[in-house]
Amino acid sequence: MPKLSDICPKAAFLYFLPVDTRVPLKFGAEVTTYVTVARVRVTVVTRDGRSADGWGETPLSVQWVWPQEGNFEERDQSLKDFCAQLVTAWARFEHYGDPVDVGITFQEQVLRPLHAAFNRSRADDDQMPWLAALVCCSLFDLAVHDAFGKALDRPVYQTYSGQYLNRPLSDYLEAVNDARQPFHDRFPCDFLVDRPTSSLPAWHLVGGLDPVEAAELSGHEPDDGYPVLLRDWIERDGLTCLKVKLRGDDFDWDCQRLVAVGRIAIETGVRWLTADFNCSVTVPEYVDEILDRLRDAESRIYGMLLYVEQPFPYDLEANPIDVHSVSARKPLFLDESAHDWHLVRLRRELGWTGVALKTCKTQSGALLSACWAKAHGMTLMVQDLTNPMLAQVPHVLLAANVGTIMGVETNAMQFYPDASQPEAIVHPGLYRRREGRLNLSTIGGPGFGYRESEIKRELPEVAAADGNWQSAVPSPEVNTIWAILPSEPCPYQQLGESLSGNSMGAIGSKDEGKDCHRSFGPSTRMKLPSSS
């Protein structure tokens, strides 16, 4: 049932923050040395005329969302271009609802046709994956959830009940056994923990290129005051949980790597390990044999292995592999394949037993996947996309509120620790692991509790902006928006016009004289409120 607190997006402002890694990070066959972090501010209005600004952010991790050999720069630019298109799409999405309703409806009615249109001009072997589209959309979805909490003056996770949400979970989810009706008249709050913790065990990532022993040092490691060797990280941060990246196509190397890290873990008091094959395995027997060899030769290391993460290709619809033999040995968690609850249901039938959630696949989708998985006895984990800056806050809050098998993965402090210095002044416990844990106690206030007004970060020029400025009333703590707009035709005008005829309803402003839909290029300067 509609509520006065229902929100509708009215404006969006997009920023790109480039970040270099201090050491390389290997994803599958590719290596990451640079990432673009996308941040957005979305202004919403409620049915009763209130307005609020929300912030969302995610790294556009090209190698993870769009694995491919070569053309990194082109893929990175394509993701940024798609984000710019989403600015127009979100600012013109004339749909009132709660944030879950708005987010899921946007995915179904707008994101899918936009993704399809984006790929029509691309070669068959160069199609942008749906996962990449979700990641681009996730920052806007996060911002809408943040704005909803601010409009209600409540923390986000206190808004996921029938008091504020219009539709029960049964409107979104279907159970395997409908007779059970686990979602009838229930809301996300019914599947969240009663008392979220303010301290989480932190998982450290042992990357495929990380030197484990001193003999592996090349002499080109950074001398920047941060650890390089695994033992030094464990000692400095008091680590108790290690995630080990494996190759998935080199059996001997994978076995040796697990044993080498496992022995260091035993020596240094680490309690838990997990193995991440990054979608490189094509047959279950590969993982089965590694686990069996570890069980027989290194039983203590095998016992420390808490679960196995996503060994198989993430497009499991094209690769419907029965994985019961792996999950009979260790819990088996979906990651890249867990786009939404429909796919989680399919994977469960194939033998997967757990789901690794990520806010970079949208907060709305993560909530629904978490509810479906918990209703069907699946275990949860929250995995990192090397989240720095604001992206870290919703990431850790998801882990604290859904309840995980063990803490949360967090590794931005390994690969670009200085990127989050302004945020770390306000939230020191989120960007430095101490005694093997993150401290969430500084998160507070409405929305995601970023406390962005206290964060002294200088944002770059706006990359793209769109919205009805009169509807997008600035929050009291930010300055009035002003802009110098380019005189040439707006490059996203055609996008807005083409979207206006689809099933999401009218997108154009009712008062075109007060409407702006522009992508801001190098010749344009736009002063907007930053998060400081």
Domain end marker among 424, 446, 468: 446
The predicted-structure confidence for 386-400, as pLDDT tens digits, reads as follows 999 999 999 999 999
395 lies in the same domain as 472: no
| CATH at residue 117 | 3.30.390.10
278-288 mean pLDDT: 93
Q: How many CB atoms lie within 10 A of CB 366?
A: 26
In this prediction, residue 278 has a pLDDT band, given cuts at 50, 70 and 90, of confident
pLDDT digits (tens, 9 = 90+) for 327-359: 999 999 998 778 899 999 999 999 999 999 999
The answer on 457 and 442 residing in a single domain is no
List the end-to-end C-alpha distance of the chain, in Å, as a whole number.
Answer: 37
Beta bridge partners of 59: 37
- Per the structure, the complete domain to which residue 390 belongs is given by 178-446
Whole-angstrom distance, CA of residue 234 vs CA of residue 476:
44
Task: Based on the fold, state whether residues 441 and 515 are members of the same structural domain.
Answer: no
Torsion (CA) 307, 398, 17, 51 in degrees, nearest 10: 160
Q: What is the mean pLDDT of residues 223-238?
A: 97
Query: Is the confidence at residue 513, as pLDDT, over 60?
Result: no
* Dihedral pair phi/psi, residue 155, rounded to 5°: -60, 145
The reply to whether 205 and 71 lie within a common domain is: no
Boundary (domain end) residue, out of 446, 470, 494: 446
Quote the CA–CA distance of 343 and 133 in Å, as a whole number: 16
The pLDDT value recorded for residue 529 is: 37
Percent of the chain past pLDDT 90, that is, above it, reads 79
Q: How many residues are given for the chain?
A: 532
At 110, the amino acid letter reads: V
In a domain, 58, yes or no: yes
Q: Name 309's Cβ contacts closer than 8 Å, sequence gap at least 6.
A: 243, 274, 275, 276, 277, 333, 335, 356, 381, 383
In a domain, 532, yes or no: no
Cβ-contact 26, 352 below 8 angstroms: no
Residue 252: exposed, middle, or buried by beta-carbon count in 10 A (0-12, 13-18, 19+)? exposed
Question: How far is residue 336's CA from residue 57's CA, in Å, rounded to a whole number?
Answer: 19
Q: What is the CATH number of the domain that holds 389?
A: 3.20.20.120
How much is the pLDDT for 141?
98
> Minimal CA–CA distance to 40: which of 93, 73, 80, 98?
80
469 has a pLDDT exceeding 60: no
pLDDT category of residue 178 using cuts at 50, 70 and 90: low
> Are 135 and 227 found together in one domain?
no
Listed range (65-69, 114-118, 120-124, 226-230) with the worst mean pLDDT: 65-69
Q: What is the pTM of this model?
A: 0.89
Residues 102 and 231 in one domain: no
Residue at a domain's end among 411, 446, 481:
446
Residues 493, 441 within the same domain: no
What rounded mean pLDDT belongs to the chain? 88
Q: Does a structural domain hold residue 399?
A: yes
Q: For residue 491, is pLDDT > 80?
A: no
Query: Distance of CA 25 to CAs 161, 243, 301, Å?
Result: 39, 13, 24
Q: Which residue has the higher pLDDT, 338 or 425?
A: 425
Is 172 within the bounds of a domain? no
- Give yes or no: residues 146 and 202 share one domain: no
pLDDT, residue 492, reads: 34
Structure tokens at 465: 């902006």
Same domain, yes or no: 485 and 510: yes
Three-state secondary structure call for residue 522? coil
pLDDT at 190 over 60: yes
Q: Is there a single domain that holds both residue 423 and residue 458?
A: no
Taking phi first (over 0 means left), then psi (-120 to 50 degrees means alpha), and beta for anything else, what does residue 225 get?
left
Nearest of 23, 43, 21 to residue 34 by alpha carbon: 21
Which long-range CB contacts under 8 A does 285-290 form with residues at least 24 apart?
Answer: 285/325, 286/248, 286/251, 286/311, 287/311, 287/326, 288/325, 288/326, 288/329, 289/251, 290/251, 290/254, 290/255, 290/258
Among residues 166, 152, 151, the alpha carbon closest in space to that of 43 is found at 151
Residues 237 and 235: their CA atoms lie apart, in Å, by 6
Residues 153 and 51 occupy one common structural domain: yes
If one counts the domains in the chain, the total is 2
| Alpha carbons within 13 A on the beta-carbon side of 408 | 34
518 has pLDDT over 90? no
Lowest model confidence (mean pLDDT) among 25-34, 88-97, 296-305: 25-34
